[in-house]
Structure 1
Amino acid sequence: MKIRKVCIHPHSSQQNVYIYENKKEQYIVVAIPYLEWSIYVTYDDFVHIESRLQQSLANVLEEEHVSPLAMKLAQWMREM
């Protein structure tokens, strides 16, 4: 598991992002407790990862913060 820090809102403090990868079962789970948000993504879903992240984050964030956060999360997930 990796723990990253992200600033979700321009004027807020950094929040923890937890990224867990299960290589045997080929999936990644990402969680941001501050937002009470998480997502489960299989390796097969990586083709559409940014759009899935944006759709999911849109339920808990204001629109202007969704895309930058989704891009950052997608990058970190690809690094795993």
Structure 2
Amino acid sequence: MKIRKATIDERSSQQNVYIYENKKEQYIVVAIPYLEWSVQVTYADLANIESRLQQSLANVLEEQYISPLAMKLAQWMREM
């Protein structure tokens, strides 16, 4: 598991982002406790991960913060 720091919105300081990879079952879980949000992504879904993250984040975050955070999360997930 990796723990990264990200600024989620203008009201928050840097928050923990938890990224867990299960290589055996080929999936990645990303969680942001500050938002009470998490998502599980299979390796097959990594090709279009940014749009999937944007759709999921739209449920818990204001529109202006979704795209930058999704791009950052996608980059970290690809580094795993």
Does TM-score exceed 0.5, indicating one fold?
yes
Calculate the TM-score normalised by the size of structure 1.
Answer: 0.97
7-16 vs 56-65, greater mean Cα deviation = 7-16
Q: Which runs of 5+ in 1 are unaligned?
A: none
Calculate the TM-score normalised by the size of structure 2.
Answer: 0.97
Q: Which residue of 1 aligns with 2:37?
A: 37
* Identity of matched residues, %: 82
- Deviating beyond 3 angstroms after TM superposition, the runs of 4 or more aligned structure 1 residues are none
Q: Which runs of 5+ in 2 are unaligned?
A: none
Corresponding residue SS for 1:72:
helix
Q: Which residue of 2 aligns with 1:2?
A: 2
Q: Residue 64 of structure 1: CA displacement?
A: 0.2
Output the CA distance in 1 between the equivalents of 2:71 and 2:78: 11
Determine whether 1:28 maps to 2:20.
no
